[in-house]
């Protein structure tokens, strides 16, 4: 069984998003949480976060009062509105990076 060969899609001091070149699974680390996600679950989490960002405008900013369900029934995230925005931005940037990488791969495979 081959070990994962991760491509870094996003990295800051808040966390990171990597994707395995072999099995196409994502690893998302944020704060003290780390999630392993298949593509469909990554897309679902990104959609949940995008909706939640719009939904947190009037909430107190310093409280962890935003419940974010994850694709795993055994785990949820409880975040501040600022953390929701930060995690959403991380996943959006990682998704953009992955899409650009795929497009560049298409052009590279033609030569």
Report if residue 89 sits inside a domain: yes
pLDDT value, residue 109: 55
> Can you give the pLDDT of all 111 residues of the chain as single tens digits?
568 899 999 999 999 999 999 999 999 999 999 999 999 999 999 999 999 998 887 888 888 999 999 988 899 999 999 999 999 999 999 999 999 988 887 777 544
pLDDT value, residue 85: 95
Report if residue 70 sits inside a domain: yes
Report if residue 1 sits inside a domain: no
pLDDT value, residue 1: 55
Q: Give the tokens for residue 110.
A: 């033609």
Residue 26 contacts by C-beta under 8 Å, 6 or more apart in sequence?
17, 18, 19, 20, 35, 36, 37, 38, 39, 42, 94
Report if residue 63 sits inside a domain: yes
- Number of domains forming the structure of the chain: 1
pLDDT value, residue 78: 95
pTM above 0.95, yes or no: no
CA dihedral 99, 101, 103, 105 (to 10 degrees): -150
pLDDT value, residue 111: 42
Secondary structure element (H or E) that encloses residue 36, with its range: strand 33-37
pLDDT value, residue 86: 96
Q: Residue 88 is part of which domain span?
A: 6-108
């Amino acid at each position: 069984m081959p070990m994962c060969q991760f491509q870094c899609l996003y990295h800051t001091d808040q966390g990171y998003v990597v994707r395995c070149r072999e099995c196409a699974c994502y690893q998302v680390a944020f704060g003290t949480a780390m999630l392993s996600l298949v593509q469909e679950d990554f897309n679902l989490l990104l959609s949940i976060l995008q909706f939640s960002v719009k939904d947190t405008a009037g909430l107190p900013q310093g409280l962890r009062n935003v419940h974010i369900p994850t694709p795993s029934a055994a785990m949820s995230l409880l975040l501040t509105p600022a953390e929701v925005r930060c995690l959403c931005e991380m996943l959006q940037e990682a998704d953009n990076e992955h899409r650009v990488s795929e497009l560049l791969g298409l052009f590279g495979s033609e030569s």
